């Protein structure tokens, strides 16, 4: 079991990929659902930690975007975690609406069946009563 300084340090020392990005997983801190994955550059990481609001980098639009800036479905970061080799973030958030632009609470609303077909498992739209039930 090898351990490097990345795994043991108490300093944030993010490893960005060759495009300058890090994956950020968003988990609802109340329901524990995994909501989505997004990408961040260094500026997006700094803005997320400074503002406490999940902020990503759009690869297709080449720009910073605050989750929910148009829809109002923001994600308030209660706790940010970094993984062992500091190349992935986990944001434990309180959701102000559905994470998915399609309208589901989570972007992971479909299960892969054994025949590789998909079954939608969470047809309900966002219900604040569900998310704030903790």
- Alpha-carbon Rg for the chain in angstroms: 16
Q: How far is the CB of 118 from a second copy (least distance, A)?
A: 5
Nearer to a second copy, 114 or 133 (CB): 114
CA atoms of 106 and 73, how far apart (whole Å)? 12
Q: How far is the CB of 33 from a second copy (least distance, A)?
A: 8
Q: How far is the CB of 17 from a second copy (least distance, A)?
A: 10
Residues forming the site for a second copy (CB under 8 A): 1-3, 7, 9-12, 23, 25, 27, 32, 34, 36-37, 49, 79-85, 88-90, 100-104, 107-112, 114, 116-119, 121
Nearer to a second copy, 111 or 127 (CB): 111
Nearer to a second copy, 85 or 127 (CB): 85
Q: How far is the CB of 24 from a second copy (least distance, A)?
A: 10
The pair of three-digit structure tokens given for residue 112, joined into one six-digit string:
């892969």
The pair of three-digit structure tokens given for residue 45, joined into one six-digit string:
């990481």
Residue corresponding to tokens 């989505």: 36
The upper half-sphere exposure of residue 1, i.e. CA atoms within 13 Å in the direction of its Cβ, equals 3
CA atoms of 133 and 117, how far apart (whole Å)? 32
Nearer to a second copy, 4 or 127 (CB): 4
Residue corresponding to tokens 């966002």: 126
């Amino acid at each position: 079991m090898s351990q490097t300084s990345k795994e043991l340090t108490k300093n944030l020392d993010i490893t960005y990929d060759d495009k300058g990005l890090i994956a950020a997983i968003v988990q609802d801190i109340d329901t524990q659902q995994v909501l989505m994955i997004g990408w961040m550059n260094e500026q997006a990481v700094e803005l997320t930690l400074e503002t406490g609001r999940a902020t990503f980098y759009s690869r297709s639009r080449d720009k910073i975007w605050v989750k929910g800036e148009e829809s109002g479905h923001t994600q308030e970061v209660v706790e940010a975690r970094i993984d062992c080799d500091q190349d992935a973030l986990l944001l434990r958030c309180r959701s102000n609406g559905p994470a998915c632009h399609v309208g589901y609470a989570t972007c992971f609303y479909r299960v892969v069946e054994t025949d590789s077909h998909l079954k939608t498992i969470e047809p309900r739209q966002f219900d604040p009563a569900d998310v704030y039930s903790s």
